[in-house]
Structure 1
Amino acid sequence: MGRAVKRKKAKSKAKKEEAASSSIPAVASGPAKVWQPGVDELEEGEELQFDPQAYNYLRGFSIGWPCLSFDVVHDQLGLVRSEFPHTFYGVAGTQAEKAAWNYIGIFKISNINGKKRAPIPASAVDGDSDEDSDSSSDDEAEETNEDTKPVVHLKKVAHAGCVNRIRSMTQKPHLCATWGDTGHVQVWDMSSFLNSLGESGTHAHNEEDVIYKHLPLKVFSGHKDEGYAIEWSPIVTGRLVSGDCNSCIHLWEPTSSSWNVDANPFVGHSKSVEDFQWSPTEADVFASCSVDKTICLWDIRKGKKPCMTFKAHNSDVNVISWNRLSSFMIASGSDDGSFSVHDLRSYKADKGTDLLAHFEYHKKAITSIEWSPHEVSTLAVTSEDHQLTIWDLALERDEEEEAEFRAKMREQANAPDDLPPQLLFVHQGQKDLKELHWHPQIPSMIISTAADGFNVLMPCNIVTTIPGAEPSNNDTTMSSAES
């Protein structure tokens, strides 16, 4: 397993400052011990490092202020892309120190070149050229990868207040919706900024001080409180649903030039609505989760009450994800650190649903959960315990293989014996992870946002059956790490 490992190391002041500015620390070397977040503690003089062989690609980047939410923008560069170099587009919303400083970041990351190369510190991407003079291995990695540095292209659009959540429409990716802490839901046309990014070359233009004034296409002020739940329909172009902390849900229907928002809300939850997912197969059905510990399924043709309601957890349900490749499975993450997979086929009004899986690995609240768009049994999770984990529910415990694997891992990194067999990968190194997304067009690529910026990662052991993609093994890989 490639997991966070701890070792003694004397740090200079310069090294401390570099580590603080980068979410990707120095590469580990020498004897290592696997470090378990929430279980182990770092002693004085110890720091966490990671094994770069655990990744086909790993890089940190920033767009300025921390972002609570972001989304991958679908592009026209190819439906399935497995060869480096990669390029991807995204939108993100900031949480600035002052409300007037917030913006939507429309960005392009280009020249993503990898395949088990030593990662470069995020500070190099953001223009910080300071290097640790006593780290020859870091210098060699930087020199080797000088021509493979990714380039961050960024446009900023002013946004009133913090962005609680942002979503790009699949069918028309230039349209995105934002939920603001001001209580307004807005829809934006970002086509001009995306077109400009598309025309940009291999060098980023410095526009750090340029924040464009750009009016939204639609502003809805009918929610009585701010919220986080918002989601575009993957089937009906332009259909949107938004939910608030006052337990109300509003449906947006597209018109020829704008949207009609139903002023009469859907009512079924007793507390804050936290997340939405539209059915991948039924145009009129969506799911919601709530602080009231339940998941509801709604059919917009059948009135304003849920057609299914079941208790999903013993604590707040923060996030849900509907499996696009197997529509009877919904995954949910809770405030108590657990996450579950529910079988909708088994629903009974008096009993709820059967659980296909339930895990209590994480030590703090689940902040994001998402099924892989390419593998039916694979999902990824982020938590407030500073971990991003990847799971394959198709894996079962095989005592003989597991004994061999654990023996191997004890030799390599003194790995713990109580890891679930479904756990494929653990990524650490980001503080207060908030949201992750699989890239829908680049198999095995995950982007995550946290209080200290973004990470782009491609674990070496994530299996994909996409034609033309290289096969990999199912060994659990855990990597790291925190400075």
Structure 2
Amino acid sequence: MSKRTADQGDGVGPLKDRDRPDAMDVDEKPNDMGEFEDEFEDEFESDDEIIEAGVDGRPDAEREAEEAAASGMDVDNAGPGTFIVGRTKLDPGQTLSPDTTTYRMLHNLSTPWPCLSFDIVRDTLGDNRTVYPATMYTVAGTQADRNKANDNSIMVMKLSGLSKMDGDEGGESSDDDDDDEDTDPILESKSIPLTSSTNRIRTHQTPSQDPSRAPTTLTATMTESSHVYIHDISPHLAAFDTPGSIITPQQNKPLCTIRAHKAEGYGVDWSPLYPAGKLLTGDNDGVIYVTTRTDGGGFVTDTRPFQGHTGSIEEIQWSPSEASVFASASSDGTIRVWDVRSKSRSPALTMQVSNTDVNVMSWSRQTTHLLASGADDGEWAVWDLRQWKPSGTSAPGKPTPIASFNYHKEQITSIEWHPTDDSIVAVAAGDNTVTLWDLAVELDDEESKDTAGVQDVPPQLLFVHYQNLAKELHWHPQIPGALVATGDEFSVFRTISV
């Protein structure tokens, strides 16, 4: 949740689907790291490799007094005058600051250039981690000014010292709790040079045949130049925990450059069921290619494209349960389901799910017949693929979603199912918000009366997080409830509600 506080600042409009934000104020040549931001305190320690900073440097009494004076979004007792983040207009001179009592963890960080696409890298620190301070690894692609294209890079990042909020009890404890109050968040970064902005980046890990060794971590980066670069970032990840490691120019070179596309694109996904590496890429011409890693370690792109969309490919995802099946979402308003074994290279299913661009989608990992989609008109929906029937040569059908929400009034920019709970969905939108939803919530008549005063706020809405220029989000697969979102900066947070 967020609350209003009086503070001078200029508002920034929402980021449309392929628009790029203004550049941040950076030096001529950015260094290899970002910085954790403290909106209340500008002091931080830094050197050439590591930046440390607190999240909330104010005295507890000052912060608590402000929280007591400012109202959050209390939907239980809300009336017609309720302030709704992303919907209600701020008064002149007001900006939003987080209500820290609603977060279990909250950290913000900035990078030399905006990173509008990123992915979380699975690590060897264990699953279901609840110990603080937390550590995580991510990879992101930058969007430098067009006249500074050579400043672009892939940023491989290690985030450590991610402490929980002061006063959070949360039912979790660890031997490290006593040390948690003294830790500062640390961001370390390794850069891989690029000569073009990143539209989308995704990671894939190939298990090592030696159980004692870490997996090989690959990235696929689809760039504004239309080229797709595949890198091995395993040396960069290992360097964080190996003092004195030096990344060589050879290790920064791509393993493969895919030049099949004639237009830039945004559709990129690695198959979760093909350990060696099988990659989908889709472009603004509506063309989709499959690239497969060979036994010898090289990559081969099948030059026979999958075609059928009449608009740009906005999102591609492999099925989490069927190795030959994938889905694509397009600006033509359809989602199409394909089988790579098809000789015709045409879709098996075509469904018109929106009258506007379908920007994003997410396939549930727990209930694999469920697919969520988000559109340019701000509506997001959940579909049961078992209800979709082959349309043959007839016009695309328009199925009925099993759930749909038009709470957001700007385009949906990212959507993702919770990795272990198929009732929880996270959504990012152009109204500068990240929202969390619980599809299992159902209200009886009495509860409906209690919430009648909050107009257009569905009972399934769990939480609203303010994220300026919200663009992409991902759940951390190994830290329950932890989310990372990006826009004009990164947010790493966990709420007390999930």
Name the TM-score class by shorter chain: 0.7 to 0.9
Mapped to 2, the partners of 1:340 and 1:24 lie a distance apart of: 35
Count of residue correspondences = 414
TM-score (normalised: structure 2): 0.77
Secondary structure of residue in 2 paired with 1:391: strand
State which drifts further: 440-449 or 109-118.
109-118
Mapped to 1, the partners of 2:87 and 2:134 lie a distance apart of: 37
Shift of 1:341: 0.5
Could you tell me which of 430, 444, 449 is aligned with 1:384?
A: 430
Contact 1:103 1:211 in 2 (8 A): no
Shift of 1:116: 5.1
Mapped to 1, the partners of 2:250 and 2:41 lie a distance apart of: 30
Shift of 1:424: 0.8
Contact 1:103 1:157 in 2 (8 A): yes
Residues 285-321 of structure 1 deviation map (CA, whole Å, 9 limit, x = unaligned): 0000000000000001123100001011110000010
Mapped to 2, the partners of 1:443 and 1:149 lie a distance apart of: 21
Pair 30,278 (structure 1): closer, same or farther in 2 beyond 3 Å:
same
> Aligned partner of 1:179: which letter?
M
Shift of 1:363: 1.3
Q: Does 2:116 correspond to 1:80?
A: no
| Aligned match of 1:446 | 483
Mapped to 1, the partners of 2:274 and 2:202 lie a distance apart of: 15
Residues 221-280 of structure 1 deviation map (CA, whole Å, 9 limit, x = unaligned): 110101111000000120110000011000111102211101111001011001111111
| Aligned match of 1:4 | 2
Mapped to 2, the partners of 1:116 and 1:402 lie a distance apart of: 34
> Aligned partner of 1:152: which letter?
L
Pair 268,433 (structure 1): closer, same or farther in 2 beyond 3 Å:
same
Pair 9,92 (structure 1): closer, same or farther in 2 beyond 3 Å:
closer
Could you tell me which of 149, 155, 159 is aligned with 1:105?
A: 155
Mapped to 2, the partners of 1:18 and 1:5 lie a distance apart of: 15
Mapped to 2, the partners of 1:270 and 1:49 lie a distance apart of: 42
> Aligned partner of 2:233: which letter?
M
Mapped to 2, the partners of 1:211 and 1:460 lie a distance apart of: 44
| Aligned match of 1:262 | 302
Q: Does 2:139 correspond to 1:96?
A: no
| Aligned match of 1:164 | 199
Secondary structure of residue in 1 paired with 2:493: strand
Q: Does 2:205 correspond to 1:180?
A: no
Mapped to 2, the partners of 1:234 and 1:295 lie a distance apart of: 20
| Aligned match of 2:379 | 338
Q: Does 2:199 correspond to 1:149?
A: no
After TM superposition, list the pairs within 5 Å mapping 1:38-437 onto structure 2: 38-97=86-145, 98-115=148-165, 117=167, 147-171=182-206, 172=215, 174-199=217-242, 214-237=252-275, 238-256=277-295, 257-303=297-343, 304-348=345-389, 349=391, 351-401=397-447, 416-428=454-466, 430-437=467-474
> Aligned partner of 1:395: which letter?
V
State which drifts further: 19-28 or 333-342.
19-28
Contact 2:85 2:464 in 1 (8 A): no
Shift of 1:434: 0.9
Shift of 1:199: 3.0
Pair 145,176 (structure 1): closer, same or farther in 2 beyond 3 Å:
same
Contact 1:56 1:115 in 2 (8 A): yes
Mapped to 2, the partners of 1:443 and 1:165 lie a distance apart of: 25
Mapped to 2, the partners of 1:352 and 1:417 lie a distance apart of: 28
Shift of 1:420: 0.6
- Greater RCO between the two (CA within 8 Å, min separation 6)? 1
Amino-acid identity (%): 40
Contact 1:165 1:230 in 2 (8 A): yes
Residues 328-380 of structure 1 deviation map (CA, whole Å, 9 limit, x = unaligned): 10000001111010110111336343311110011111110000001111110
| Aligned match of 1:461 | 497
> Aligned partner of 2:126: which letter?
G
Pair 39,390 (structure 1): closer, same or farther in 2 beyond 3 Å:
closer
> Aligned partner of 2:104: which letter?
N
State which drifts further: 303-312 or 212-221.
212-221
Shift of 1:148: 2.0
Secondary structure of residue in 1 paired with 2:182: helix
Secondary structure of residue in 2 paired with 1:353: coil
Pair 200,52 (structure 1): closer, same or farther in 2 beyond 3 Å:
farther
| Aligned match of 1:468 | none
Q: Gaps spanning 5+ residues in structure 1: where?
A: 12-16, 119-143, 408-414, 463-483
Shift of 1:92: 0.3
Q: Gaps spanning 5+ residues in structure 2: where?
A: 10-37, 43-52, 74-82, 169-178, 207-214
Mapped to 2, the partners of 1:83 and 1:9 lie a distance apart of: 35
Contact 2:87 2:431 in 1 (8 A): no
Mapped to 2, the partners of 1:20 and 1:365 lie a distance apart of: 33
TM-score (normalised: structure 1): 0.80
Pair 23,371 (structure 1): closer, same or farther in 2 beyond 3 Å:
farther
Pair 213,50 (structure 1): closer, same or farther in 2 beyond 3 Å:
same
Mapped to 1, the partners of 2:440 and 2:181 lie a distance apart of: 40
Shift of 1:403: 5.1
Shift of 1:30: 3.2
Shift of 1:161: 0.6
Shift of 1:83: 2.2
Shift of 1:400: 2.8
Shift of 1:84: 1.7
Contact 1:157 1:211 in 2 (8 A): no
> Aligned partner of 1:44: which letter?
P
Shift of 1:111: 1.8
Q: CA RMSD, aligned part only?
A: 2.8
